[in-house]
Structure 1
Amino acid sequence: MIKFVLMVNRQGQTRLSRYYQPVELNRRAALEADAVRCCLSRKKDQCSFVEYKDFKLVYRQYAALYIVVGVTDSENELSIYELVHNFVEVLDKYFSRVSELDIMFNLDRVHIILDEMIQNGHIVETNKSRILAPLTALDKMMDG
């Protein structure tokens, strides 16, 4: 099961966070800082899966952004690794070459995309067209 999804830049600033298990607000900042520090400190030739406390971190780097996913020990790391890539492909398709600024200024849309893909910590959709369908409908309503 997926515990959380984080999107951070190289400076460790969180651009997106989504939790699927309750974590107290005062513990979130420490968890995010620690998890991000753990991933950012790793070399490029090291594995993208990290044992961390009582769960695993799966991360990928895209330009200046890191996407970090915390998962339970029973979750398949490769499927999460591919999910992260699929998420970035969907963002690229919607924003036409997504950037950190796109994420910052369209956070609501990024959350809609993530919510279409993951619900209650489980992957529910991977088809790019189906994931983008609600946003396409929303954009048509706003234009018309």
Structure 2
Amino acid sequence: MIHFVILISRQGKVRLTKWYSPYQQKERSTVIRELSGLILSRGPKLCNFVEWKGYKVVYRRYASLYFCMCIDPDDNELEILEIIHHFVEILDRYFGSVCELDLIFNFHKAYYILDEILIAGELQESSKKAVARLIAAQDSLVETAKEEAGSISNMISQAI
């Protein structure tokens, strides 16, 4: 099971977090601080697995972001690396070569994509095409809602 997902920039700024196990806010801050210090200080040639407080943290760096997932000690690290890569590929497909700014300004989309891939810390959808269809459907619903909201506000402004 994946306990949490954290995306950290090279400067140590958190860009996305998703918690699948219960942590208090103070614990979350401590976890983020400890892991960002641990991962950012590691050399690029070291392996992408770190043992931490009885868990394993699997991470991978893409451009200026570190994608980190905390798993149980008996889970398969290579599977988690594939899940991270799967997530990045879908982000790339959606944003067209995803960068840190895409996640900053479209964090809601990044969360939506992550929620389509993982549920309760387990892989839900392994098909990139299925996730792309779901994202396109969500985008269509959002556009329809914006158009309807715009037409309602136009009718209200004309009535006044």
**TM-score higher than 0.5:** yes
- Aligned partners of 1:25 and 1:89: how far apart in 2? 30
The answer to whether the 8 Å contact 1:116/1:124 transfers is: yes
Partner residue in 1 for 2:52: 52
- Aligned partners of 1:133 and 1:39: how far apart in 2? 34
TM-score, L = length of structure 1 = 0.96
- Point out where structure 2 has 5 or more consecutive residues left out of the alignment: 145-160
TM-score, L = length of structure 2 = 0.86
Q: More helix by proportion, 1 or 2?
A: 2
Runs of 4+ in 1 over 6 A off after TM superposition: none
Matched pairs, number = 144
- Aligned partners of 1:115 and 1:39: how far apart in 2? 24
1:51 aligned counterpart, secondary structure: strand
Aligned-residue CA RMSD (Å): 1.1
1:70 aligned counterpart, secondary structure: strand
Give identity over the alignment, percent. Answer: 39
What code does the residue aligned with 1:59 have?
A: Y
The answer to whether the 8 Å contact 1:36/1:68 transfers is: no
Partner residue in 2 for 1:31: 31
Asked if 1:107 is matched to 2:117, the reply is: no
- Aligned partners of 2:22 and 2:2: how far apart in 1? 12
CA deviations over 1:65-102 (Å, ceiling 9, x no partner): 00111111121000001110110000000001111111
- Aligned partners of 2:117 and 2:74: how far apart in 1? 19
CA deviations over 1:28-53 (Å, ceiling 9, x no partner): 01101101111111111111001111
How far is 1:116 from its partner? 0.8
